[in-house]
Amino acid sequence: MGERRIATYDDVLAAPDHLVAELVGGILHTSPRPRLVHAGVASVLGEELGPPFRRGRGGPGGWLILDEPELHLAADVVVPDLAGWRRERMPVLPDQTFVSLAPDWACEVLSPSTAVFDRRDKLPVYAREAVTQVWLIDPTARLLEVLRLDGATYRIVATFAGDESVRAEPFDAIELALAALWNA
């Protein structure tokens, strides 16, 4: 059996446009573009967080929040569904196609085809890069898990389900109606 070739960013760039290409531990991972339910959850969450946290309307402001940014974290390339940086760490968006500064918060909307990869492969990358908060959202189970970096690993600090209205860190300055996510 031959030796496995280490994938590079050139492999990410060569992936077909209809796939999301990510590179973790030298392995290229491709997945289909998200299904519309998945995209709807991510879109609604961005719409809910944008005014109070990006713009300061009805909330404290102070964040840059992006949909599907390409993150270059050491040798890994990951694409969370949403990511946010506190403005004191990233005052303005760089004029480039990817970001090398780890976000303060990342959100993964889980789907059957990506849930294992998001949990097993991407969470350790986020932990290594000191992403302090991660949200895992499961639209099928209608579940939001809030994780906080605790040393080298994450611990679940809150789990919300169904149609609850919640205050979830780091965005606990506002109440988020989960029903809005499921009814995208």
- Domains (range + CATH), the chain: 34-182 (3.90.1570.10)
Q: How many Å apart are CA 54 and CA 13, to the nearest integer?
A: 30
Determine contact, residues 85/103, Cβ cutoff 8 Å. Answer: yes
Q: Say what the pLDDT of residue 96 is.
A: 94
Q: How many Å apart are CA 107 and CA 46, to the nearest integer?
A: 10
What pTM was computed for the model? 0.94
Determine contact, residues 46/55, Cβ cutoff 8 Å. Answer: no
Per-residue pLDDT tens listing for the chain (184 residues): 556 789 999 999 999 999 999 999 999 999 988 888 889 999 999 999 999 998 888 888 899 999 999 999 999 999 999 999 999 999 999 999 999 999 999 999 999 989 999 999 999 999 999 999 999 999 999 999 999 999 999 999 999 999 999 999 999 999 999 999 998 6
Determine contact, residues 89/103, Cβ cutoff 8 Å. Answer: no
Q: How many Å apart are CA 24 and CA 46, to the nearest integer?
A: 25
DSSP structural state of residue 110: -
Q: Say what the pLDDT of residue 2 is.
A: 56
For residue 74, what is the enclosing H or E element?
none
Q: How many Å apart are CA 139 and CA 43, to the nearest integer?
A: 13
